[in-house]
Structure formats: structure tokens, C-alpha cells
Structure 1
Amino acid sequence: MATKSFDVVVIGSGPGGYVAAIRAAQLGLSTCVVEREHLGGICLNWGCIPTKAMLRSSEVFHLMHRAKEFGLKADNVGYDLDAVVKRSRQVAGQLSGGIGHLLKKNKVTVIMGEGTIPAKGKVSVKTDKGVEEITAKNIILATGARARELPGLEADGDLVWTYKAALTPKRMPKKLLVIGSGAIGIEFASFYNTLGADTTVVEVMDRVLPVEDAEISAFAKKSFEKQGMKIMQKAMVKKLDRAKGKVTAHIEVGGKVEKHDFDTVISAVGIVGNVENLGLEKVGVKLDRTHVVTDEYCRTGVDGLYAIGDIAGAPWLAHKASHEGTMVAELIAGKKAHPIKPNSIAGCT
């Protein structure tokens, strides 16, 4: 098979990768995207977008209970969890399809498969038809991140869920424990709590939503507690005893270990970069605790190799990844690019 050659090859098609590819194509560079799973990445398929769709359903449900305040009548208010999930998946599916359309419209080649970098300027893609070899003047790593799993708290899909199981629940939790109160943990806690799950959130730091301003944390905590959520701060889940239909959590708080029973646990204790199996060490890329070390222009120090988005470290935000993607595409095209200033990026939860 003839080797294909491109000016830019992007590995990963999340909000960093697809934006970088489209911008590169618009600037006249021949561009290829390599994606192993879903166009749009975690954000569109299993993250920001489907969680917001579910939160919208729970918000409307919450408002229906307050109909009377607005002079409206809503009797026998209920929900159908399967229908809520189905709507969320449809929203995600529609947007993922939209990314495919945008890439095609901008004449970006898409290869579905798993990419590795066997040598500088080369990308090898394992597809279901075999292996495709590509040469690339520039490679942009945009492989994102996945949920961090803590020993003893690993997900099993039945009693202990990661975000994927929490987005496609087989049942409605009655007593729910959410470990971690960052954006992901608190979104699920809020969704399930509003639909009637007895919800407890355990946070190791001294406040919920620890990356937000302290006053936002305090305000959010008050609001969640008013809605019936239990919040344990400066607390740590030491271990989970799993039995049939029940999990006993050993939670250390204030120097003592308390035992609490739940029927469902959602683990949301941060993320780790997808840096494995890419061949990065071999080509000389420096890694620091699961992320790629880059300069302010997302350069890895290896000529023609860039890293953007979650794989390049915090803040783990879609809009940061997109901005970096645009910047790198412009840099490759020889335009003047403004470097990233991480501390001036607005957060969002």
C-alpha cells in the first residue's frame, strides 16, 4: 500500500484535535486525523455534552416541582430514566456526526484506528483492515485523558461506576456515594440527587469544587445541602467492601474511620493523560506524571511534534484544548501565534 503523506497529522479528534485539524486545513495544509473511537472525543461523547443534557433533564424535573410558584399546574410529576439517557445519547450522537461532517467539508482525511509514532515524522495506524503507514511533516498529539482509578476503588460497572456507567445507568441509585467533587463528580451528584437518590459526596480537600474560587465553593455547598445532599470534606474513602447489591465504604474523616452503606458508588477522582502505547519515549518526548511536557507553544522539544489539550496537562478544559489546537495550526502554517497563558483561562463547571 502506498504511504500517504501529509503536512499535519493529528492523533485524537476531541475539542483539541478536530479544531487543530480544521484550522490547519483552512490554512492550506494537507491534514489527516487519526481517531481510535469516536469523533469529538470524550468531551462530546462521554463528557461535557452528555452530562449537560442529563443535567438539563434533572433541572426541568426540579422546576416542575416548583410549578405552583409560577402559577402553573404539574401533577404526578415523574421521570423515565431510560428516556433521559436516550435523549442525552442522541444529543451526543448528533454532535459527533456533526464533527464528521465538518472534517469532510474542510477536506480533512479521517483514518479510524489506533495511532503510534514509530519514528520522527511517521505515524502508523492500526485499523480494522490492517496497518496504514503515514508520513507527516508535523504531528499534533491530542489523545486526551481518561478517569483515574485508585487502587481498591476500581469500577466494576455494577456497584462502582466511572463516568461511562453513570451516563448510561442500568438502574437508578437509591443510596449513592460520589468520590471526588470536581466538575465531573459534582455534576453526577447533582443529577442523581435531583432525581431522588440519597446522595453523599466525599472530597479529600477542605472544600467542594476545589478548583473554583472559595466563595463559589461555599455557595455551592450550601445550595447542595439545601437540596438534601450530604457533603463530607477533608474526608477520604479508604476502602470499599463489595457485597451483593451493597457497598460498604470506609470513610476516614477527622482522624476516625466511619462505615457507610451504599448501593452505588461513582468514582470521579481526577484524570490521567493517554500517553501510553504511542511510542513517545522512543522518539524522545518528555513525560511528567502522565502528561507530555511542552513549552508555551505546545512544542514537545522533538522537532515537528506538538501536544495539546488534556495530554499536555492542566487546566483540563475543552476550550483550552481548542485554543491550543488553533495556535499550533497557525504556528505550523508560519503565522504569528500567541502563546497560551494557563492562568488567564476561565474555568467552567
Structure 2
Amino acid sequence: MAENYDVIIIGSGPGGYVAAVRAGQLGLKTAIVEREHLGGICLNWGCIPTKALLRSAEILDHSNHLKDYGLVLEGKVSPDVKAVVARSRGVSARLNTGVGFLMKKNKVDVIWGEAKITKAATGAQPGEIVVSKSTKPVVEPQHPVPKNVKGEGTYTAKHIIIATGARPRALPGIEPDGKLIWTYFEALKPDFLPKSLLVMGSGAIGIEFASFYRSMGVDVTVVEVMPTIMPVEDAEISGIARKQLEKRGLKIFTKAKVTKVDKAANSITAHVETEDGKVQQIVADRMISAVGVQGNIENLGLEALGVKTDRGCVVIDGYGKTNVPGIYAIGDVAGPPMLAHKAEHEGVVCIEKIAGLPNVHPTDKSKVPGCTYCQPQVASVGLTEAKAKELGRDIRVGRFSFAFNGKAIALGEDQGLCKVIFDKKTGELLGAHMVGAEVTELIQGFVVAMNLETTEEELMHTIFPHPTVSETMKEAVLDAYGRVLNA
């Protein structure tokens, strides 16, 4: 007889495991199905290990500019790529183990294998999944299959949540091969540092890897089809980021596309078509394909059940509900923005709605912050200036340069900008955009302000500590209203 649960979650990435924790807290009998590694892509191959790599890159950058800080070091600091990768993998393994602990702590059963939904809930009858043996082998000893997990079999639940994440998108004819053309999987743990690298795509993944490898001394070229790098960001912010990246030695082509890749024994030649229709050949040791991701919706039984999908993602409402009763989706598989923190929030909202808690608010994607951890960092929330104008909003725009901020100058990182966008009539904060030192840690202040429906008046009367880079946030608000103090 099939074991029955209140909730079964397919996938243990940030959305899945956080949803499982919240379900356990609320007393729901919960199981989570995983086929490869607890923590999903984020903990094992994405957010966390990439930040460990970028931390090594940041320290290396600083060490090569010690004279700027009045310090002297005999000899040059050089990277040991194997040690850098080993540290990154160790950080990932620690958090992977932590997810297993959280499942045990919250009495969540872990089922190891690949799940397929065979029945949706109807009336008093629960939905059903069949779990088969995982076809994904364990590739690292530090990421083993956890002990005391359940395995193959049939399981039932009134509520089934799909949290299967996403995988790298491949362009026809330029598919990654794991050797010459990498995805983020290979880029995360290289056996060696290539002398030259071409990065196709300048979203967060592409730019972060471009920044990391440039810090490691690699000759990096970025090719982006859109007019600006990091195309979802405010154009002014991405322009500043581009100048700083180019100053570090990155070569960047925008309004350009890779049309063809020729492979040699140990290098590639990319045919890059520029805006004027001319084709330039770029030779590199390796290439990273970073042209986005696509949802993992295959082999889950969705088509047979009639679950609606759109452009490779499951269609949901603000609570994670699909068009089929008893089936939900959260995170990357449910569409953009494909960010771990969005997945976590959706997971909590979905579970709390299932549990019948009062006053559960649907996920508001307009208040999901985005962060890119290159050098310099980029962070944003809400509308860009262009989008606000496109929507017909009458706006005020405030800016404050890091060049006038005492803490940024003391850090030796005075090239940055904080930009805010307000509704001129109501004072509503519509968007905030930042580029510079540690802005990924600062953006949450604006997210909180937007969530509390704060106007410019409250922000102007908020006391920011001195000296901090956060003072740029208040000064940008003051600038929007003609009251800037330090510029």
C-alpha cells in the first residue's frame, strides 16, 4: 500500500527544501523527493560555490593592488586553481549536509529517486507519484546520497509541489560538450586555467564567470546579443559596470551574436556577427555558454495530467497553484525571475496557503531583488528608469556617486552609483539600482522600503550610520528631490 503524506515536494533546491521546512513547522506530514543532491543547483553548482570562487577572486584582486593601500608584499600572489576549486566545493558540501540536517530536524522524509506524477488529487482521493531509481550518479564523494532515505515505490499526497529547478539552455549547433564548450557545471571546477575564454551571454551567470576568470588572469571576451550587458538591469547602471569591467581588461561585444563555433583539438573559433553584419572570428581555449536556463518539466507526467506550461515553465498563480487541483510549482521551473530567493519565498507562500493560514499574500515579483556578484557588484529591485517611462509613470530620479562617499573612498572603491526612481505624484519608490562595492548587501534596504510602501519622506528621515556605503542610498533619495547634501 502506498505511503500517504499531506505534502510531497519534488526537488530539494532552495524552493523545495524551504517549503519542506515550513511544512514541517506547520505540522504537515511531508516528504521531499531528490534524484541527485540535496540543496539543488544553488547549493551545489550555482549560488553558493560561485560566490566562494568570486571571494577568492576578490582577495586576489586586492592582493595585486596592495601598494594602493600602502602595503608591500615581496613577490606576486598567483592563483592555485585546484585549491580555489577545492575550497568552493568544500563550502558547497557543508551546506549540502546542512540541508539533510534540516530535513531530519523538521521530520521531513527524504525519498531518493526520480518522481513522476501519475494521478492528481480528485475529491477525497490524494494525488500519486511513482518514484523510480535515480539515473543521476553521485559524482563527488563530498555529496553522497544521505543515509536513512526512502527509495523506489508509490507515494500519495493531497498536495504535490513541483520544485525541479532549471538547467542550462543550449543553442542549436553550439551545444556544450563539457570539454571545449562549458556550462556553469564545468566552469565551476576547471582542471586548469585556460589562457583565453569566450563567454556567450552577459546575464548574471555569464558576467560572474567572466569576472572570476579575468581575476584569475585569463583573457576574457564576452559576447551579448542585446544592446547592453546584464540586459535586465537599468541601462545606466549596466553602462557603468561595463566601463569598470573593461577597465579590468574584459573585451565586450554587444549587439553581437555567436553564429557558429569551429572546434579544434584544444581550442574553439567563434564566428561573431556584429551589428553591422560583419563576422569576426575569435579564437579561445574554452567557451562558456551562458544563454539562460530552461525549466526541468520533462518526464514528470505533466502533459498527461493537463498541467499548463508556457515556454518551458509551469504556469502558476501567485500562490504556486497550477490549473490542475492539488498540483503546484515553485522556483525556476515556474518561470522568471529564476532566482533562489524567489523560489524560497514562493515555497513558503505555497505551503502557508495549503495549510490555510490567514492573510497569506501572493508572491509579488516586482519586489524580487536581483544581484550580480561581479567586480563591481550590481543589485536592483523594481522598475528601471526606461520601464517606468514606458509604463507612463511621471517620475523623479535621484543619483549619488560613490565618488562622494567617504567610506567608499576609504575602501579604495569609489567607482559606483546608487540610483532611485520615485513616482512624482505619490512619492512611491518604484525602483532602486546600484553598482559598486557590496551593493548586493545594501539592496535589501530598498526592498524593505518598497515592501512597507515607504515614501521619500520616511527615507529622508531615516538616519543612516556614518561612515558607510549605505549613505549613498539616502543621498540618492535626497537628490531625487533636490536636497542632496554631499555632492
What TM-score does the superposition give when structure 2 sets the normalisation length?
0.70
Q: In the alignment, is residue 347 of structure 1 matched against residue 347 of structure 2?
A: no
Q: In the alignment, is residue 33 of structure 1 matched against residue 21 of structure 2?
A: no
TM-aligned CA deviation for residue 85 of structure 1 = 0.2
Q: In the alignment, is residue 333 of structure 1 matched against residue 355 of structure 2?
A: yes
Alignment match, 1:230: 251
Alignment match, 1:70: 69
Match of 1:152 among 173, 176, 185: 173
TM-aligned CA deviation for residue 281 of structure 1 = 1.0
* Superposed structure 1 runs of 4+ greater than 6 Å apart: none
> For 2:371 and 2:26, how far apart are their aligned partners in 1?
30
> For 1:251 and 1:98, how far apart are their aligned partners in 2?
44
> For 1:246 and 1:340, how far apart are their aligned partners in 2?
45
Alignment match, 1:189: 210
User: Tell me, what secondary structure is at the counterpart of 2:152?
Assistant: strand
TM-aligned CA deviation for residue 283 of structure 1 = 1.2
> For 1:17 and 1:219, how far apart are their aligned partners in 2?
36
1:256-300 CA deviation, whole Å, 9 max, x = no partner? 111111111000000000000000011110011100011121100
User: Tell me, what secondary structure is at the counterpart of 2:259?
Assistant: strand
Alignment match, 2:228: 207
TM-aligned CA deviation for residue 112 of structure 1 = 1.2
> For 1:260 and 1:320, how far apart are their aligned partners in 2?
37
User: Does the CA contact (< 8 Å) of 2:115 and 2:130 recur in 1?
Assistant: yes
User: Does the CA contact (< 8 Å) of 2:10 and 2:32 recur in 1?
Assistant: yes
> For 1:195 and 1:329, how far apart are their aligned partners in 2?
43
Alignment match, 1:94: 94
TM-aligned CA deviation for residue 71 of structure 1 = 2.3
Alpha-carbon RMSD across the aligned residues, in angstroms, is 1.1
After the TM superposition, which residues 16-31 of structure 1 pair with which residues of structure 2 at under 5 Å, given as runs?
A: 16-31=15-30
User: Tell me, what secondary structure is at the counterpart of 2:353?
Assistant: helix
Alignment match, 2:323: 301
Deviates further, 128-137 or 292-301 = 128-137
One-letter code of the match for 2:57? S
Deviates further, 214-223 or 67-76 = 67-76
One-letter code of the match for 1:311? V
User: Tell me, what secondary structure is at the counterpart of 2:206?
Assistant: helix
After the TM superposition, which residues 196-345 of structure 1 pair with which residues of structure 2 at under 5 Å, given as runs?
A: 196-254=217-275, 255-336=277-358, 337-345=360-368
**Aligned residue pair count:** 348
1:230-268 CA deviation, whole Å, 9 max, x = no partner? 000000000100011121100000211111111110000
Of structures 1 and 2, the one with the larger relative CO (CA 8 A, separation 6+) is 1
User: Tell me, what secondary structure is at the counterpart of 1:140?
Assistant: strand
1:131-184 CA deviation, whole Å, 9 max, x = no partner? 310011100100000000111111111111110000010111111100000000
> For 1:296 and 1:78, how far apart are their aligned partners in 2?
49
One-letter code of the match for 1:198? D
> For 2:299 and 2:266, how far apart are their aligned partners in 1?
36
After the TM superposition, which residues 38-77 of structure 1 pair with which residues of structure 2 at under 5 Å, given as runs?
A: 38-74=37-73, 75-77=75-77
TM-aligned CA deviation for residue 79 of structure 1 = 1.4
> For 1:157 and 1:141, how far apart are their aligned partners in 2?
28
TM-aligned CA deviation for residue 76 of structure 1 = 2.6
TM-aligned CA deviation for residue 130 of structure 1 = 6.7
Alignment match, 1:170: 191
User: Does the CA contact (< 8 Å) of 2:38 and 2:100 recur in 1?
Assistant: yes
User: Tell me, what secondary structure is at the counterpart of 1:16?
Assistant: helix
One-letter code of the match for 2:223? V
User: Does the CA contact (< 8 Å) of 2:113 and 2:151 recur in 1?
Assistant: no
Alignment match, 2:389: none
TM-aligned CA deviation for residue 73 of structure 1 = 2.4
1:183-236 CA deviation, whole Å, 9 max, x = no partner? 000010000011111100000000001111112201110000000000000000
> For 2:357 and 2:306, how far apart are their aligned partners in 1?
26
Unaligned runs of 5+ in 2: 121-126, 135-149, 373-487
One-letter code of the match for 1:340? T
> For 2:196 and 2:311, how far apart are their aligned partners in 1?
34
Match of 2:133 among 113, 127, 149: 127
> For 1:286 and 1:226, how far apart are their aligned partners in 2?
46
User: Tell me, what secondary structure is at the counterpart of 1:348?
Assistant: strand
> For 1:198 and 1:310, how far apart are their aligned partners in 2?
32
Unaligned runs of 5+ in 1: none
1:6-31 CA deviation, whole Å, 9 max, x = no partner? 00000001110000011011001000
What TM-score does the superposition give when structure 1 sets the normalisation length?
0.98
User: Tell me, what secondary structure is at the counterpart of 1:228?
Assistant: coil
> For 2:254 and 2:219, how far apart are their aligned partners in 1?
17
Identical positions, percent: 58
One-letter code of the match for 1:327? V
User: Tell me, what secondary structure is at the counterpart of 1:28?
Assistant: coil
One-letter code of the match for 2:21? I
> For 2:115 and 2:251, how far apart are their aligned partners in 1?
44
> For 1:36 and 1:211, how far apart are their aligned partners in 2?
32
